[in-house]
Amino acid sequence: MITKETQVNGITFRLTLTDSIITQVKNLKSLYNTAYEDPESFDRLSTEISSAIQEISTAIEPKADDAHLDSLIQEIIKTVDDKTAEMKKITNEKIGKKTTKKSRRKK
């Protein structure tokens, strides 16, 4: 779980990102990418996009209005991307350490 405070237009919001919310963020990014690659699919995807945004918005306190929601969704996506990159880096470092240890031979 990730918790973070962020300010949008002078209002402080608290983000609580659970595994479920992180999954929804990844789903939303995928939907955005699909709609970008195939603009004709946007109408078909708009309901799913709206549903994902509504689900993600439950992680925001206090409840965000439409004027703040877009900026907050962008901040949540950035936070999830940063955390994913951090976890990937840590995993890669651990894998690197394991291969280094294995290459040493006992005499």
**Residue 93, pLDDT score:** 84
Give the model confidence (pLDDT) of 31-89 as tens digits: 999 999 998 988 889 999 999 999 999 999 999 998 899 999 999 999 999 998 998 88
Structure tokens at 40: 């004709």
pTM: 0.79
**Residue 103, pLDDT score:** 53
Count each helix (H run) and each strand (E run) in the chain, helices first: 3, 3
Instruction: Say how far apart CA 34 and CA 76 lie, in whole Å.
Output: 19
Helix (H, G, I), strand (E, B) or coil at 30: helix
